[in-house]
Chains A and B, each alone.
Chain A
């Protein structure tokens, strides 16, 4: 399960023009260093930096979650992420954006996903950050297995038949629809 190390984000490569490459997206097998990622976004032209962290929460649908595990289909995840970045650039006036998603076993409180966006003015960064995290949740081939206090483990969204259309990436307006959050909390930094 070795992936590229998150340290790569420290390089200026993470600041390459968006949409051209998939370098703005990384999968990490170890702790996401949010401060390092935030520093990598520093840019004198940026008047706004919006960061989002999805954090492992201790409950989901009334069950106590002890830990969870993410698995990714890396090559397709990278391609899909680069499309999402290109879409964000097209829609919003942003300077840069990065995303790092964890794989492997995570404990409560750990950061599962980090998204950081810079722009000259705050509106674009807020909107683009929201767009990127929403699309990543909907479209990237990444799966989550939760382990509960009763010892049972389940792949999220794969157990209850009949609800899967709610997650269909082809359906639009999911910003309104996607209220069925699972065990990632939210933390916004400024």
Chain B
């Protein structure tokens, strides 16, 4: 059963896919699969092992399910300060 999610992109991922966000209809069962699907589409230079993932403004595990209406953000290595 496919679900619809919003994916927001920041920093290097935003540059690589050329957009700040997109609506995605996906059959991915977990966030890792969702990233794999989007990485195949956008050819991201960073792998899942270099990223963290947040859903609805909370850091979550890659194996969490992809819920209808979720806002998903893949977090590249940070460099604040």
List residues of A whose CB falls within 8 A of some B CB.
54, 70-73, 75-76, 79, 101, 112-113, 133, 136-145, 155-158, 161, 164, 167, 169, 182, 184
Contact = CB atoms under 8 A, between A and B. Distances in A.
B48 to A, nearest CB: 11
Q: Is the interface of B mostly helix, strand, loop or mixed?
A: mixed
Interface class of chain A by DSSP: mixed
Contacts of A182: 79
A157 B45 CA distance: 12
12 contacts: A54-B81, A76-B73, A113-B80, A137-B80, A140-B78, A142-B79, A143-B12, A143-B80, A145-B11, A158-B77, A167-B77, A169-B52
Interface centre among B12, B49, B78, B81 (most CB of A within 10 A): B81
Given A79-B57, A155-B12, A139 B78 contact: yes
B73 A73 contact: yes
B57 A158 contact: no
B57 A157 contact: no
A101 to B, nearest CB: 6
Given A71-B10, A73-B73, A136-B80, 12 more contacts: A54-B81, A71-B14, A72-B80, A75-B57, A76-B57, A136-B81, A139-B78, A141-B75, A143-B10, A161-B50, A164-B50, A164-B77
B54 interface: yes
A132 B47 CA distance: 29
Query: 6 shortest A-B CB distances, which residue pairs?
Result: A142-B80, A137-B81, A143-B11, A157-B77, A156-B79, A144-B79
